Amino acid sequence: MAKNIIVGTGFSGMLAHLILGDGATVFGATNTIEIQGAHRQFLLNKLLGAKANSSTVLKNHLQKMQLHDRLIAGGNGSIWGGFVNASAISDTARALLKSAGIYLIPLRYHQTGSIDSKTQIYQLQLPLGRVLNPADLITQIQEAYLQTIQVLPDGQVLLQWRGLKSPHIQEQACESLVLAVGVVQLIDLLYRSGYLSNGDALELSEYRYQLRPTFKGAKMQENAIVIRVNILRGLLHFFGIQHYPNFFSWCDRLIPFALDQIFWNEKVSRSFFVDEGALSTSVGKQDVISQFGDSVHYCNLRINGLDANQFLKNISPSIIGLGMAFVDQKTPGPISNDILSDALKKIANEE
Ligand SMILES: Cc1cc2nc3c(=O)[nH]c(=O)nc-3n(C[C@H](O)[C@H](O)[C@H](O)COP(=O)(O)OP(=O)(O)OC[C@H]3O[C@@H](n4cnc5c(N)ncnc54)[C@H](O)[C@@H]3O)c2cc1C
C-alpha cells in the first residue's frame, strides 16, 4: 500500500510533489490515454502547442460557459503563461520555488515579451528562459488515469485507475490522497465515483476578463490588472508556443502593437448543473446572458452551496484538493499565487 498519492502533474501536482518529496507517489494521465465511450467535449488545445487529450463521462451542454480539460503531463502548465503575482507570495513560497530551480522573472519586454500595469506580476521560469512546465520538475510519474475513488471502512482511500495502454482497472489503496486534477476532471471524478448525481448544483467564479489589441505605449486600464504582451509574443502564446526565440524578440522591438490581457476588478459567478449525464447551464433555471470562463482562471467551486474543500472533507479527511477549484482568488490576475499559498497551507501547515 502506498502511503501518500498525488494525482495530477500540473502546477498543483508539482507543488505537492515539491513539498512532500519522494514520500508520495505521483499519478498522472498523459496525452496517450484513450478511454472507450468517453467524451472529449472539454478539450482545449492550441494549434502548435503540446496536444493534450480529454476524457469525461459527463457531456458538455454548457451555454456561454467555457470549461476545459487537458490530460497531459504538465496539465495547463504545458501551454500557460507562467504568470504569478509575486506580491502575494510568502518567503516560504519563494524558498520552495528557489530550491526547485524555479526563477521569478519580472515582466520586461526584452526578457519575457510582456509588461504589467502594477509591476507585481512575474513569470515562473526554468533555466535558459524557459517558461515553467511543471512536469519537468516531477522526478517520476506513474502514468495512470484515475477512474474512481472510494473510502474503505478502515479509512484508507481506494483508487481505481487504468494504465494508459491497458483497459483493465487496477486498484491501489493509500492513507492520504492529494487530488490535483483540474476543475473539469474533479467534477467528473466525483460524478464517476458516485459523489455527484443528476440535479446537483455547481458554481464557479472568476474575475471578468478581456483580451484587447493595443499599442505598446498606450495607457493601461485602471481598476484592473493588465498584462501587456508584445504582438509576436502574444501570437506565439495564442498558437501554443512557449519559447520566445531571439529573432522574434528582436522583431518585436520594431512593432508598436501589443495585446492586453485585462483582468477587471469585478468578480462574476456562474451556476451550472449535473443534468441527465451532462454539465448544463440549464436554460429555464437561469438566464445565461454573458460569457463565462474566458479567463481560464475560474475558481472556488461550490457544490450544492458547499465549498469544494468541505465537500471533500465530508467524503474523507484523508483527501485534500489543490488547484483552482479549491481557492477563492483574492485579486484579479494570475491564480498560481493563490494555488501556491493554498498548497503550503494544506500540506506544509504554513499559516
Ligand atoms: C492557456 C492557459 C494559460 C494559463 N496561464 C496562466 C498563467 O499565466 N498564470 C496563472 O496563474 N494561471 C494560468 N492559467 C490557469 C492555470 O490553469 C492554473 O494556474 C494552473 O496551471 C492549474 O494547475 P493544476 O495543476 O491545478 O491543473 P491542471 O493544469 O489542469 O493539471 C491537472 C493535471 O491532472 C492530470 N489529471 C486530470 N485528471 C486526471 C485523472 N483522472 N487521472 C490522472 N491524472 C489526471 C492532468 O493530466 C494534469 O496533469 C492558465 C490556464 C490556461 C488554460
Query: Between residues 336 and 237, which one has the greater pLDDT?
Result: 336
Sign of the alpha-carbon torsion through 114, 120, 124, 126? positive
Looking at the predicted structure, is the pLDDT value of residue 331 above 80? Answer: yes
Helix (H, G, I), strand (E, B) or coil at 344: helix
* Ligand 1 atom 10: residue of nearest CA: 334
**Candidates 7, 11, 138: which one to mutate for ligand 1, based on the most atoms within 8 Å of Cβ?**
11
Ligand 1 neighbourhood includes 55 CB (under 6 angstroms)? no
Looking at the predicted structure, is the pLDDT value of residue 162 above 80? Answer: yes
Task: Determine the pLDDT at residue 240.
Answer: 79
Measured distance CA(299)–CA(90) in Å, rounded:
21
Band the pLDDT of 147: cuts 50, 70, 90. Answer: very high
Looking at the predicted structure, is the pLDDT value of residue 283 above 70? Answer: no
**Candidates 12, 55, 80, 186: which one to mutate for ligand 1, based on the most atoms within 8 Å of Cβ?**
80
Cβ atoms of residues 241 and 133 within 8 Å: no
Residue linked to cell 495585446: 259
Cβ atoms of residues 196 and 303 within 8 Å: yes
Ligand 1 neighbourhood includes 333 CB (under 6 angstroms)? no
* Ligand 1 atom 41: residue of nearest CA: 146
Question: For the ranges 84-88, 104-108, 235-239, which has the lowest average pLDDT?
Answer: 235-239
Q: Which amino acid is at 67?
A: L
For 230, list phi and psi in degrees, rounded to 5: -45, 145
Ligand 1: which atom is nearest the Cα of residue 76? 29
Taking only the tens place, the pLDDT of each residue in 24-60 is 999 999 888 778 778 888 988 888 888 899 999 999 9
Q: Which three cell numbers stand for residue 156?
A: 484508507
Band the pLDDT of 138: cuts 50, 70, 90. Answer: very high
Ligand 1 neighbourhood includes 146 CB (under 6 angstroms)? yes
Paired with 193 in beta bridges are none
Those residues with Cβ within 8 angstroms of residue 211's Cβ, 6 or more apart along the chain or in another chain:
259, 260, 261, 262, 294
Looking at the predicted structure, is the pLDDT value of residue 11 above 80? Answer: yes
Question: For the ranges 173-187, 208-222, 286-300, which has the lowest average pLDDT?
Answer: 286-300
- Number of domains comprising the chain: 1
Q: Which long-range CB contacts under 8 A does 344-350 form with residues at least 24 apart?
A: 344/15, 344/19, 344/90, 344/92, 344/93, 344/96, 346/320, 346/322, 347/15, 347/16, 347/19, 347/20, 347/178, 347/320, 348/19, 348/92, 350/90, 350/92
Band the pLDDT of 237: cuts 50, 70, 90. Answer: confident
Looking at the predicted structure, is the pLDDT value of residue 246 above 80? Answer: no
Cβ atoms of residues 300 and 205 within 8 Å: yes
| pLDDT > 70: percent of the chain | 98
How far apart are the CA of 293 and the centre of ligand 1, in A?
14
Looking at the predicted structure, is the pLDDT value of residue 257 above 70? Answer: yes
Task: Determine the pLDDT at residue 287.
Answer: 61
Band the pLDDT of 252: cuts 50, 70, 90. Answer: confident
What is the average pLDDT value for the chain, to the nearest integer? Answer: 92
Task: Determine the pLDDT at residue 292.
Answer: 94
Ligand 1 neighbourhood includes 49 CB (under 6 angstroms)? no
* Ligand 1 atom 38: residue of nearest CA: 181
Most confident of 107-121, 285-299, 311-325: 311-325
Task: Determine the pLDDT at residue 35.
Answer: 80
Paired with 275 in beta bridges are 278
- Residue 143 structural domain: 2-347
Q: Which three cell numbers stand for residue 192?
A: 464517476
Helix (H, G, I), strand (E, B) or coil at 166: coil
Band the pLDDT of 284: cuts 50, 70, 90. Answer: low
Q: Which three cell numbers stand for residue 180?
A: 490535483
Ligand 1: which atom is nearest the Cα of residue 323? 26
Task: Determine the pLDDT at residue 1.
Answer: 61
Cβ atoms of residues 76 and 135 within 8 Å: no
Measured distance CA(304)–CA(307) in Å, rounded:
9
Task: Determine the pLDDT at residue 320.
Answer: 98
Cβ atoms of residues 303 and 310 within 8 Å: no
Ligand 1: which atom is nearest the Cα of residue 337? 11
Task: Determine the pLDDT at residue 166.
Answer: 77
Cβ atoms of residues 212 and 258 within 8 Å: no
Q: Which residues of 85-106 are buried (b: 16+ CB within 10 A; e: fewer)?
A: bbebbeeebeebbeebebeebe
Query: Between residues 121 and 349, which one has the greater pLDDT?
Result: 121
Sign of the alpha-carbon torsion through 287, 290, 293, 299? negative
How far apart are the CA of 297 and the centre of ligand 1, in A?
10
Ligand 1 neighbourhood includes 183 CB (under 6 angstroms)? no
H or E segment at 190?
helix 183-192
